[in-house]
Chain A
């Protein structure tokens, strides 16, 4: 019995390692999008008058690109109020609540420390890849861990690279590399649009996202679009069930 058990746990171990590497491999294309942003973050930090240490420290501790850009921008403009910057950060990152809620049923069985550790690395890109893996084969904590550790290392080191390179290189985002992120998300989105309801959810989200991006500050457009389209999707599904 024990031999069988240890054999199957060895089998599990191999599967888990394979899953971890697969996650790292899936993260590679996203690197093209993350690295220029990290480098820009490093350069912007120095331009705003932060030291290299402060800039990298922010990436290591906060690990949230958009809100870091905004905070650095505010610091550069001489806004040093703790509440202003921290509250803005909170608002910009509120969208993670929705991502957390969406992953919650899948991570429910994990131990608290594991959940706590995984939550730290829950960024837009890792959420997108993890949700894609759930859609494809089901949730794997090893997959999520692999994606998040890869992204974290890339983010920290590309910020560091930005502070080292300083202003020796012109704006790396001008090289068209900022297209890497939408391209990655497109590949993740397309396989989801296979049924009528998903298509409607996508269209509704697109409309609200554009309206929100036009009229709302910061990243609110993501939150508004997500709430509107998610609710619509739920109702459409209920309508479908009612017809049966």
Chain B
């Protein structure tokens, strides 16, 4: 392994770890204000939404609201299935069927 690559990887590992441990460590010694929890409880919903929506609306980096956007169509269907069933395998299967239908176009 080249030294300069090793140092880069070590640097990346250290800063990444700091982002993961930072607040956990801090709140161990500083009592987080009670009010903070009122905010923090919304973090999961916010983060999940923020990870899903751009992946569906901007799969190629630009906003694509057309029917050609297979991620959007698959996402809408998977969203409905997730809402109705709550089952990950059925949700993924329904989304993947649409993704593959777009890729291989058996109906075209």
Contact = CB atoms under 8 A, between A and B. Distances in A.
B59 to A, nearest CB: 8
A115 interface: yes
Label chain B's interface by main secondary structure: helix
Interface string B84-97: 00111101100110
Interface string A124-139: 1001100110110000
A185 B44 contact: no
A210 B63 CA distance: 8
Contact of B42 (A189, A208, A230): A230
Given A62-B13, A183-B92, A205 B45 contact: yes
Contacts of B15: 86-87, 89-90, 93
Interface residues of A, number: 94
Contact of A179 (B18, B88, B95): B95
B100 to A, nearest CB: 5
B58 to A, nearest CB: 5
Interface of B: 1-2, 4-13, 15-28, 32, 35-58, 61-63, 70-71, 74-75, 78-79, 82-83, 86-89, 91-92, 95-96, 99-100, 102-103
